[in-house]
Amino acid sequence: MTDTKDAQPTDRPLGVSILCRRDRSVLLVQRGKPPFCGHWSLPGGRVEAGETPRVAAERELLEETGLVAELPAEPVEWVDVDSPARDGLPALHFRIAVFLALRPPGGRLAAGDDAQDAAWVDLSDLDTRPMTPGTANRIRRLFS
């Protein structure tokens, strides 16, 4: 996984993730599908045809958590994610737009779509959960 703030390229499928903060907690979802099924991560997913990354981030947040957040027009950073081939599936190579919610989201938290669970997790508890590669460090860096 590589962090970068470059503009989005067009040679990789696009995805989004959303960092939502509330006091000293961050909103996480437990992935229900490969890659990294069972691991905790920021809410997010693929950008669908015709969507901007911001619209996709708003949709994915609502689908996975039942929450709505105000997002900035542009992501705070872009991340390249490479997942190796496994179990007969090809390697995955994504470009992820990471959005930082402007304030805590509203609504009733409920895991949905392809999330097994959703929870507000205190920063001090990040290392107690299996997480997708680089997520805990990204959260700590962007939280400050």
Distances (CA, A) of 33 to 102, 127, 128: 28, 21, 21
* pLDDT on residue 38: 95
Rounded distance between C-alpha atoms, residue 61 and residue 74, angstroms: 16
* pLDDT on residue 48: 96
**Angle, CA of 54, 59 and 144, to the nearest 5°:** 55
**Domains of the chain with CATH codes:** 2-130 (3.90.79.10)
* pLDDT on residue 87: 73
Let me know: does 10 contact 78? Beta carbons within 8 Å: no
Chain CA centroid to CA 133, Å: 12
Question: CB-hemisphere CA count at 13 Å for 130?
Answer: 6
Stated pTM of the model: 0.88
Run means of pLDDT, 10 residues per run, the chain, 144 residues:
48 91 97 89 96 97 97 96 74 89 97 94 97 94 89
